[in-house]
Amino acid sequence: MAEQTLNIPQIIVFIAVTVLIVRWFLKPSGAGQPSSASNRAARLNPAQIDHLVQMFPQLDRRTVAWNLNRTGGNAQAITETLLAGGTLQQPPTSFQIPPSRTATPSAGQRQAPRQPAKPAQPDLITRYNLASKLGQAAESSAVETPKGKAWSQDKNERQANLQRRREEMILAARRKLEEKAKAEQKSA
Amino acid sequence: MTSQASKRLFKEYRDLSSNPPDGITAGPVTEDDMFVWEALIQGPEDTPFEGGVFPAELKFPKDYPLAPPKMKFLVEMWHPNVYPNGEVCISILHPPGDDPHHYEQASERWSPIQSVEKILISVMSMLAEPNDESPANVDAARMWREKRVEYERIVRDNVRKSLGL
């Protein structure tokens, strides 16, 4: 009786050890496959996709990504297939591609070149605070122009001269463009 | 080294101010830091950039003029040799040793005998004549080559936008 009660913890330890050993042996074959496959998907390099799409604009990104995934990132093999006139395997519908590095159009769209989205820059009038000078510019700049070219010994004056030259350049361009637009409107 | 660089930059600033090339205004943002400049470049005539004024920032290295400055447009530029972030890519801004593709003549590249004025003039002519051997903006380069009308329309739109019209 005493012997049996002593054996129960031993049996539990034995079972636990057996389970661990069995799991350890099963792991490489059972769990190994999916984990290496997901590694491959993660290694998929968006730059590589972009590069291939640039070389072969007729392809869409998903197809390229799928085939890169399939070949384990072997861009060379894909290039060779395509150059030899072969076609690429179509990706299954469940396949998701990693986002593009540059804002290239996604899946369905063809590679219509367009300006990449980026934060809008302020226009020059805003940038140089010229809104208040838009109206009056015409007269004042005409009078002052000759002075602008001189080099002053005074640092602040130099700075002011430079700023004035910048402003004049922008305002003059804007005036010209406005006049041109008006002329076009009239002739249209 | 630093003081030599600022001296040189100061001299270039003086020359550019007393004798500015047509359509170019350039100088330090403030004289307290001679290593950051802002330049305005007028769009060359008879090009879609005509009528535009394009501000750009020039950042000089501490060992200027041994190394070239970096130049970046501060408005939207649609041009084969301007990266989408505004950075300008032309040979005069590349140091002589740094040419992985070997298509640039050594004489076109940066050397201490070049100057801010020469850079700005080169950039101006780059606007007129893009070099599509080494496009910085692949989409713009392709459009310039294949759909010139559309390219010019985008450039004109940008010019109008940048002047607040």
The answer to whether the Cβ–Cβ distance between A173 and B19 falls below 8 Å is no
| Residue-level pLDDT at A48 | 81
What residues of B are in contact with residue A126 (Cβ under 8 Å)?
Answer: 164
Task: Report yes or no: A55 at the B interface, CB cutoff 8 Å.
Answer: no
Separation in Å, CA of A29 to nearest CA in chain B: 46
Q: Where are the domains of chain A?
A: 2-30, 44-83, 124-187
Q: Across the interface, which of B138, B139, B164 has its CB nearest the CB of A123?
A: B164
Please give the helix or strand (H or E) that residue B142 lies within, else none.
helix B138-146
Q: Which position has the token pair 């100061």?
A: B10
Residue A178: C-alpha distances to residues B19, B52, B65 (Å): 29, 12, 40
Of residues B111 and A4, which shows the higher confidence score?
B111
* Mean pLDDT for the stretch of residues B145-163: 93
Task: Report yes or no: A150 at the B interface, CB cutoff 8 Å.
Answer: yes
**pLDDT confidence tier of residue B148, bands split at 50, 70 and 90:** very high
Residue B143 has pLDDT above 50, yes or no: yes
Q: What is the mean pLDDT of chain A?
A: 73
A131-184 pLDDT tens trace:
777 776 455 444 444 444 568 888 889 999 999 999 999 999 999 988 988 888
3-state secondary structure chain A: CHHHHHHHHHHHHHHHHHHHHHHHHHHHHHCHHHHHHHHHHHHCCHHHHHHHHHHCCCCCHHHHHHHHHHCCCCHHHHHHHHHCCCCCCCCCCCCCCCCCCCCCCCCCCCCCCCCCCCCCCCCHHHHCCCHHHCCCHHHHHHHHHHHHHCCCCCHHHHHHHHHHHHHHHHHHHHHHHHHHHHHHHHHC
CATH number among 3.90.1150.10, 1.20.1730.10, 3.40.50.300, 3.10.110.10, domain B2-162? 3.10.110.10
Active site residue B150: no
Q: Across the interface, which of B18, B31, B159 has its CB nearest the CB of A151?
A: B18
What residues of B are in contact with residue A165 (Cβ under 8 Å)?
Answer: 20, 25
| Residue-level pLDDT at A84 | 82
The answer to whether the Cβ–Cβ distance between B75 and A180 falls below 8 Å is no
Q: Which two tokens stand for residue B89?
A: 């890519």
Task: Report yes or no: A5 at the B interface, CB cutoff 8 Å.
Answer: no
Q: Which two tokens stand for residue B1?
A: 């080294």
What residues of A are in contact with residue B143 (Cβ under 8 Å)?
Answer: 113
CA A2 to chain centre: 73
ipTM: 0.85
What residues of A are in contact with residue B57 (Cβ under 8 Å)?
Answer: none
Q: Which of B86, B100, B116, B93 is nearest to B11 (CA)?
A: B116
Q: Which residues of chain B approach chain A closer than 8 Å at the C-beta?
A: 14, 17-20, 25, 27, 30-31, 38, 40, 42, 51-53, 55, 74-76, 78, 84-85, 138-140, 142-143, 147, 154, 159-165
What residues of A are in contact with residue B27 (Cβ under 8 Å)?
Answer: 158, 162
The answer to whether the Cβ–Cβ distance between A113 and B139 falls below 8 Å is yes
Q: Where are the domains of chain B?
A: 2-162
Q: Across the interface, which of A120, A169, A176 has its CB nearest the CB of B40?
A: A169
